[in-house]
Amino acid sequence: MIRILMIIATLVLLFVSYYLFNKQDIFFVLINKNDKNQGFLQFYGAAYAVLGVMGILTAFFNQRFIALVFLLIVIIVSATFSIRFAKKIAEPKQ
């Protein structure tokens, strides 16, 4: 059961990574479109892609400690992205 949930979480990470890389116009509705914000989205797209690959490996190892460390890393990266993205949304749009 945990393996299935890890694979689903990994697929969600890869899906979000795809959107951060290739569908950035969706995010530029909320934030300014400039090189800094584009780099921000690409950085977190790459981070989510790496986490997605790590999630696939983690699901195959099927070790509780490794899975918990992976989930902790995902939560930290997601929280960081969410907080920074919220600050960018709060900035006045030019």
pLDDT per residue as tens digits for the range 56-70: 888 888 888 988 999
Residue with tokens 């990574």: 17
Cβ neighbourhood burial of 89 (10 Å; 0-12, 13-18, 19+): exposed
Residue-number span of the structural domain to which 81 is assigned: 2-90
pLDDT at res. 15: 92
Encode pLDDT of 5-42 as tens digits. Answer: 888 889 999 999 998 888 877 877 777 788 888 888 89
Domains of the chain: total: 1
